[in-house]
Structure 1
Amino acid sequence: MLTTTLDVTTGDRERVLDLTRDIERFLREGGARDGLLNVFVPHATAGVAVLETGAGSDDDLLDLLGVLVPCEGPAGRGWQHRHGTPGHGRDHVLPGLVAPSVVVPVLDGAMALGTWQSVVLVDTNVDNPRRTVRLSFVAG
């Protein structure tokens, strides 16, 4: 098994951050061939997804999350989880919609993604600008 962590900065705004190049470098430098890659974010307020980036889908996802999980809370009555900046309770609900991990097949050392797919970190928590992402490759 190959494993490493990525330390990433998401900043002070909601972000969809493309991790694909960092993951490709990990697979290449580790000599990965065929197997499974797990991408996991060990944070209660972030998730990982496979998504098209650069054509607006990343911003569309953040817009949709804003509608589905508004800062004001369900029905505008606020969130029960209330520490942090206003609306921070929604960040703790995010992993229920955008899972904290994805598994991607790896064939001949490369992720078997579709033409427009990327692996991204989804972070709506403006209170925590630093994130850790764990990559684990298991040969098949």
Structure 2
Amino acid sequence: MKSVEIEITTGRRAVVHDLSEQAQKFLADCGATDGLLHVWVPHATAGLAVVETGAGSDDDLLAALDDLLPRDDRWRHAHGTPGHGRDHVVPAFLPPYATVPVLDGRLALGTWQSLCLVDTNVDNPVRKVRFSYLAG
């Protein structure tokens, strides 16, 4: 297995950050052919999603999270900025892991699919993401 950890600066606002290019570069760097790419986010307040980006779906995802998990004072986990407790619930809906098939050295994503880091935690502007390639 080959593995690398990268840092992503997400800033101080909720974001859907497309990791597809970085994942593809990792696969090229390790000479991937057929196998699996596993992606892991070692944070309690971020997750991964396979979603279309650039056509509004990424913004819709953040809006849906805001509707489902409002940033208000209802949360028992109460440190950080107001409503930060909801960020600790996000990984239950968007898990901190994803596995994508790799065929002929390329991510086997659908036409409009992107592999994305979803970070709603405005208190932590830098995230780590681990890519691990397992040859088939």
Structure 2 length-normalised TM? 0.98
- Alignment match, 1:66: 66
Q: CA deviation at 1:68?
A: 0.4
- Alignment match, 1:123: 119
- Alignment match, 2:103: 107
Q: Which secondary structure does the structure 2 equivalent of 1:62 belong to? A: helix
Q: Which secondary structure does the structure 2 equivalent of 1:133 belong to? A: strand
* In structure 1, C-alpha distance between the alignment counterparts of 2:120 and 2:49, rounded to whole Å: 13
* In structure 2, C-alpha distance between the alignment counterparts of 1:93 and 1:70, rounded to whole Å: 11
One-letter code of the match for 1:7? E
Q: Which secondary structure does the structure 2 equivalent of 1:5 belong to? A: strand
- Alignment match, 2:7: 7
Map 1:1-140 onto structure 2 (within 5 A).
1-72=1-72, 78-140=74-136
* In structure 1, C-alpha distance between the alignment counterparts of 2:28 and 2:16, rounded to whole Å: 24
Q: CA deviation at 1:29?
A: 1.1
Q: CA deviation at 1:106?
A: 0.3
* In structure 2, C-alpha distance between the alignment counterparts of 1:29 and 1:123, rounded to whole Å: 26
* C-alpha RMSD of matched pairs (Å): 0.7
* In structure 2, C-alpha distance between the alignment counterparts of 1:67 and 1:54, rounded to whole Å: 21
Identity over aligned residues, as a percent?
Answer: 61
Say how many residue pairs are matched. 136
* In structure 1, C-alpha distance between the alignment counterparts of 2:57 and 2:97, rounded to whole Å: 19
* In structure 1, C-alpha distance between the alignment counterparts of 2:88 and 2:9, rounded to whole Å: 19
